[in-house]
Structure 1
């Protein structure tokens, strides 16, 4: 079936199941049963299009009936990280993982960084963009990556319970191993869902920093175009080692310049005993890196949620970086650091 510039095709129907989800954080149990319908969505136009799972309805009809027996949203996970021309995004899960995704219909495909969730202009509240850069290199395997996953799942619960932060904070997660990729597109906190993290590869911190700066710049343009005031964005970088040298100097220079212009607030967090603090100290000129106590990711993300809540309740926002700086005379108190760092 075609609708505008998208083609929808049911590729398979699985036997009904009681529970969906592949880990303890994402599992959902039905009151009755889940009918798993595999649907492919293909961009048949000549340019990238954004598809929203929540606005696509799947009607299931029994044979001989004219009214739908079941209606559900089509959502799901991206079929692959590199999306070549005409590639399909499969809604193989009745829950929405990304909420929206961009199908990069261009020669050679587009990376996951092309997948965006547009600004919700229906929400008039000011926004604070929070970009988490998470090291998922091979040295994070085992207990560290499991603790990171558990901590982010707890963060989702914390931040969605805060009445202001859930609609004013916009959160993205960029992971970096050998490559950097958007694990969670920038979106309102109330839309967040827990995700799985996997470790492997080297430490391409530079690519993650560049990707985060580009994301912040683009979101600011959207804020301005939509008439939405914003707070100074936050960038939090978590790493357990030393960055790959290629591109690192240039990426740090970009970030330092943006920070000096009061265009971003940067926090650097070291994980474990093998952090190269000499390099990590270069990431921010405003505050020293904070070493994570053990693997206290849960406590760190609880602190982040509470601190975002404090910021979201302040008046430190404006329609430009200059207005934000002018309105930020009163310093916003962050949540206490005790519990997650040894500073």
Structure 2
């Protein structure tokens, strides 16, 4: 049995993402999946899950093999808050149920990747602060945050993430660059699996500022 590399995407779908930003995200996800499918290492091992968050947290794609997944169309409500804490709680439940742990009889999944993208501040800040250490304790190979647009603050993601990148604009070209960069990071992780240290990140393109 091939060991899986689980990849979780947490995507902000609050009201401020409505219009061009969410259309750009949809385009970016499609290009990311296409790029990963061209990598034989990734095609063999990568499983992807997408969780969106606004007033609710929704699992729009449960953990699915790369060659089997159908890219969902992500939508946003007219308006609404950014419940990132709720999304992390949902993520924690999913990971605990979906991750195959190593036993004496079999090798489990590789340490999963987590990518979190938001264009604002968590609305449920207390729940978010409570969930951050729980998510950190799961043992992700890398937790990468993305703050998009002028209202998102990188400091808000520091308690959660190993690295944070900033996107100054929220157009399709910038989001496409971001998701292509994600696919490079995942491909690199699928090849370096088994390393005990955190998975290395590829160089960021000019549209993406690697904050830490």
Q: TM-score range by the shorter chain?
A: 0.7 to 0.9
The Cα RMSD (Å) is 2.2
**3-state secondary structure, aligned to 2:155:** helix
Structure 1: which 5+ residue stretches go unaligned?
Answer: 1-123, 317-326
State whether residues 47 and 63 of structure 2, in contact with CA within 8 Å, keep that contact through their aligned partners in structure 1. yes
How many residue pairs get aligned? The number is 204
Deviation at residue 227 of structure 1 after TM alignment: 2.7
Q: Hey, what's the Cα distance between the residues in 1 that align with 2:186 and 2:49?
A: 14
3-state SS, counterpart of residue 151 of structure 2: coil
Q: Contact 1:125–1:229 (CA<8 Å) still a contact in 2?
A: no
Please report the TM-score for the alignment, with normalisation by the length of structure 2.
0.86
Which residue of 2 is the match for residue 219 of structure 1?
98
Deviation track 1:247-299 (CA, whole Å, cap 9, x = no partner) reads 222112312333xxx44521111010001333222222x33x21024231211
Higher relative contact order (CA 8 A, sep 6+): 2
| Structure of greater Rg | 1
Matched with 2:3 is 126
Q: Deviations over 1:88-133 (max 9, x none)?
A: xxxxxxxxxxxxxxxxxxxxxxxxxxxxxxxxxxxx2222111000
1:268 corresponds in structure 2 to: 145
Matched, 1:250 2:113: no
Match of 2:187 among 296, 309, 317: 309
Q: What does 1:1-343 correspond to in 2, within 5 Å?
A: 124-200=1-77, 201-221=80-100, 224=103, 227-245=106-124, 246-258=126-138, 262-284=139-161, 286-287=162-163, 289-295=164-170, 296-316=174-194, 327-329=195-197, 332-343=199-210
Counterpart Cα distance in 2 of 1:252 and 1:173? 18
CA shift in 2, pair 1:333/1:242, >3 Å: closer
Contact 1:160 1:166 in 2 (8 A): yes
| Alpha carbons 2:100, 2:109 under 8 Å: kept | no
Structure 2 match to 1:119 = none
Measure the CA separation in 2 of the matches of 1:273 and 1:226: 50
SS at 2:8 equivalent: strand
The residue aligned with 1:33 is: none
Instruction: Check whether the contact 1:125–1:228 (CA below 8 A) recurs between aligned residues.
Output: no
Give me the TM-score of the superposition, normalised by structure 1.
0.55
Runs in 1 of length 4+ with deviation above 6 angstroms? Answer: none
Higher helix share: 2
Q: Which stretch of structure 1 is more off in the superposition, 167-176 or 333-342? A: 333-342
Whole-Å separation in 1 of the counterparts to 2:123 and 2:84: 7
Q: Name the CA distance, whole Å, in 2 between partners of 1:226 and 1:202.
A: 45
Q: CA deviation digits over 1:201-260, x for unaligned, max 9?
A: 2111111111112222222246659834322111110000011225222112312333xx
